[in-house]
Amino acid sequence: MESMETIHENNRMQSRVRKNNIWKSIFFLSTLFGLVVLAVLIIRVVFQGAAWIDMDFITGRQSTSADRAGIMGAILGTLWVMVVVIPVTLIIGVGTAIYLELYAKGGKKGSRFSSMIETNIANLAGVPSIVYGLLGLTVFVRLVDLGNVVLAGGLTLALLVLPILIVSSQEAIRAVPGYLAEASYGMGATKWQTIRRIILPAALPSILTGAILALSRAIGETAPLTVLGIPALLIPFPEGLFDTFTAMPMQIYYWTIDSALVAEYANLAAATIIILLLILFLLNSVAVFIRNKFQQRY
Amino acid sequence: MSNTTKNKVNINVKTNGVNEKISENNAETKQNIIYNTQDLNLWYSETHALKDINLEILENEVTAIIGPSGCGKSTYLKTLNRMVELVPGVSTTGSIAYKGDNILAKSTQVEDLRTKVGMVFQKPNPFPKSIYENVAYGPKVHGIKKKAVLDEIVEKSLRGAAIWDEVKDRLNQNAYGLSGGQQQRICIARCLAIEPDVILMDEPTSALDPISTLKVEDLIKELKKNYTIIIVTHNMQQAARISDKTVFMLNGEVIEFTETDKLFSNPKDKRTEDYITGRFG
């Protein structure tokens, strides 16, 4: 009877409930903070740039005159770079993840080897992007002598985002339950058949989520491109992997800097940001679409 | 009979090879030996998990392996289709002859072995695919592409696993929508689809409710007519209900191996008696 009384003491109950509510508010405010900042950014950009977007702006060639300036060259440059980045990152990234998770881990030696590689990859993910720019300049632009073309830019950005995709693909593969692979091996399937028919399909949705992250990072990177010597103002459109190009983040960067000279450049930069966000959104919805389609097949 | 079985095992160990002819002659008059295990030892890195196992398992019988947790019964079962190698650091000595060929030899193709020796696992583990795709998986892996052939195999296997009537109208639905007992019978159907000779079952009913367990047990009795079944179970009543022979294992050793009713009614070894009367385990 005594213990019953202590449990039901009212003030204790109230203090626990109050604490509960306080923590709930803290978590809610954390979420709100991010949402508000994002909303402010987007609203500001839209107010500044939306009025400047029209067909001439989107399809036009670049120009120093704010009234005549268009961003078709930058859009094409960015898309061409993605043509390099997407397949290179996916093939090498998923391939590396498969090797590390499913082949390298046999025995003590193997697990030490793969944990060493994993540590290095995790470190690479933290290397500043401008360092990748220097790497790209040394290897692709100078050593392989590609020049500052789409292929060199694409490969540099692919290297930059590879660690992101490798780590997320590894996690995706690790999350596939072992009993599924066991069932497959138990029926006489080879390792490759098990990977292709069981492990990869089950891991694909998470791999694509990683791909979206990697892609979003690559499409917005500016620093490595400046180091590669990608021009901000370039009149001809790129038509292939070996053409010089400019990209949307470069365009945004230079227009923002030069807005000290020409005030309208700030509006052009905002307008370009809106288009860049739209393109990013479109590319990501393709990935989401593929992901959902794949999940429905089960 | 228990004594003769044991003696035969012992003779085989001592005069390896000479007696093979004798057991072959024996086989012609009686049943064939499908698995002949001789002096099998297995280590997980440093741990000695199986010690000097000698067993002769006959064709078209249900052999149950019982014993307390950690006695090596699952390890032995997984050695029979070499699934045990999926654990890194496993090493073995001795031999297991499957229809006369040593499956522990380097030259053995495990994919081929696992096509002849199917396996059903402890937890129902259907693929996250449709019921049809689950059963068709094995044949597809082995290169069968024709829809008509696959359809036939799927129906035959589902009928064989006594679940056709329950699922025939929803073959394209995800197997995860089924109950645990149904999922396990889908897994058995999936195993039948590769037309194995032997089915290894690793505590196939331990995750199921009593009614589903009964259904799976009935199925095992049915399957016995066409397949050799080796089943690991920690449920002694189950071993008594469904098996012809029972192996009792303890600490990685085979303590007793004989006809099921003899093992349960008249155990020769004190440790077997203690275990089946519930004094430990």
Determine the Cα–Cα distance for residues A293 and B98; give it in Å rounded to an integer.
Answer: 45
Q: What is the pLDDT of residue A199?
A: 94
Q: What is the pLDDT of residue A5?
A: 59
Whether residue A70 is found in the same domain as residue A48: no
Q: Tell me how close the Cα of B72 comes to any Cα of chain A, in angstroms.
A: 19
Q: Find chain B residues with C-beta within 8 A of A188's C-beta.
A: 110-115, 138, 141-142, 194
Overall CATH class of domain B2-276? alpha beta
Whether residue A14 is found in the same domain as residue A78: no
The model's pLDDT over A163-190, given as tens digits with 9 standing for 90+, comes to 999 999 999 999 999 999 999 999 999 9
DSSP A121-170: HHHHHTS-HHHHHHHHIIIIIIIS---SBHHHHHHHHHHHHHHHHHHHHH
Nearest CA in chain A to B196: A187
Determine the Cα–Cα distance for residues A84 and A155; give it in Å rounded to an integer.
Answer: 7
Q: Find chain B residues with C-beta within 8 A of A298's C-beta.
A: 128-130, 174
Mean pLDDT of A124-140: 92
Q: Tell me how close the Cα of B58 comes to any Cα of chain A, in angstroms.
A: 22
Confidence band (pLDDT; 50, 70, 90) for A283?
confident
* Token representation of residue B38: 């001789």
Whether residue A176 is found in the same domain as residue A238: yes
CATH at residue A96: 1.10.3720.10
Q: What is the pLDDT of residue B17?
A: 42
Q: What is the pLDDT of residue B11?
A: 38
User: Which of B81, B88, B126 lies at the smallest CB-CB distance from A186?
Assistant: B81
Tell me: pLDDT of A205 over 50. yes
A130's CB contacts (< 8 A; 6+ apart) are: A223, A224, A227
**Amino acid letter, residue B110:** V
User: Which of B83, B89, B141 lies at the smallest CB-CB distance from A189?
Assistant: B141
Q: Find chain A residues with C-beta within 8 A of B127's C-beta.
A: 180, 183-184, 198
For chain A, the residues whose C-beta falls within 8 A of a C-beta of chain B are 105-108, 110-111, 177, 179-180, 182-190, 193, 197-198, 202, 297-298
Q: Tell me how close the Cα of A106 comes to any Cα of chain B, in angstroms.
A: 6
The residue among A185, A190, A191, A295 with the most chain B CBs within 10 A of its CB, best to mutate, is A185
Tell me: pLDDT of A14 over 90. no
User: Which of B88, B114, B128 lies at the smallest CB-CB distance from A188?
Assistant: B114
| Domains in chain B: boundaries | 2-276
Tell me: pLDDT of A111 over 80. no
Whether residue A120 is found in the same domain as residue A260: yes
Reference B191, options B120, B246, B121, B254; nearest CA is B120
Whether residue A178 is found in the same domain as residue A270: yes
CB contact under 8 A, A186 and B121: yes
Whether residue A38 is found in the same domain as residue A65: no
The model's pLDDT over A60-91, given as tens digits with 9 standing for 90+, comes to 888 888 888 889 999 999 999 999 999 999 99
CB contact under 8 A, A188 and B125: no
Nearest CA in chain A to B111: A188
Mean pLDDT of A207-220: 90
In the beta sheet, which residues pair with residue B202? B232
Distances (CA, A) of A297 to A164, A201, B65, B190: 27, 10, 39, 19
Determine the Cα–Cα distance for residues B74 and B206; give it in Å rounded to an integer.
Answer: 13
Nearest CA in chain A to B141: A189
CB contact under 8 A, B121 and A179: yes
Whether residue A203 is found in the same domain as residue A79: yes
ipTM: 0.84
Q: What is the pLDDT of residue A233?
A: 79
Confidence band (pLDDT; 50, 70, 90) for A3?
low
Most confidently modeled range among A56-70, A99-113, A114-128, B128-142? B128-142
Contact criterion met (CB below 8 Å) for B186 and B134? yes
Whether residue A68 is found in the same domain as residue A215: yes
Whether residue A73 is found in the same domain as residue A145: yes
Q: What is the pLDDT of residue B234?
A: 87
Q: What is the pLDDT of residue B242?
A: 94
Q: What is the pLDDT of residue B112?
A: 94
Whether residue A111 is found in the same domain as residue A174: yes
DSSP tag of B68:
S
User: Which of A182, A188, A198 lies at the smallest CB-CB distance from B121?
Assistant: A182
- Domains: count for chain A: 2
Contact criterion met (CB below 8 Å) for B218 and B224? no
Whether residue A69 is found in the same domain as residue A32: no
Reference B137, options A173, A103, A196, A291; nearest CA is A196
Q: pLDDT digit of tens for each residue in chain B (281 aa)?
A: 344 443 444 434 334 444 444 444 444 446 789 999 999 999 998 899 999 999 999 999 999 999 998 899 999 999 999 999 888 889 999 999 999 899 999 889 999 999 999 999 999 999 999 999 999 999 999 999 999 999 999 999 999 999 999 999 999 999 999 999 999 999 999 999 999 999 999 999 998 889 989 989 999 999 998 999 999 998 899 999 999 999 999 999 999 999 999 999 999 999 999 998 887 76
**Amino acid letter, residue B21:** K
What interhelical angle do A129-136 and A150-174 show, nearest 10? 130
Q: Is B231 helix (H, G, I), strand (E, B) or coil?
A: strand
Tell me: pLDDT of A236 over 90. no
Whether residue A100 is found in the same domain as residue A236: yes
B218's CB contacts (< 8 A; 6+ apart) are: B162
**Whole-model pTM over 0.90:** no
| Domain-terminating residue out of A11, A31, A52 | A52
Reference B49, options B70, B77, B66; nearest CA is B70
The side-by-side arrangement of strands in the sheet containing B33-44 is B47-58, B33-44, B90-98, B101-102
User: Which of A182, A188, A298 lies at the smallest CB-CB distance from B128?
Assistant: A298
Host domain of residue A273: 58-296
Which H, E and C letters describe A252-277, residue by residue?
HHHHHHHCCCCCHHHHHHHHHHHHHH
Q: Tell me how close the Cα of B199 comes to any Cα of chain A, in angstroms.
A: 11
What is the bridge-based pairing of β-strands B33-44 and B47-58? Answer: antiparallel
CB contact under 8 A, B111 and A189: yes
Dihedrals phi, psi of B201, to nearest 5 degrees:
-125, 125
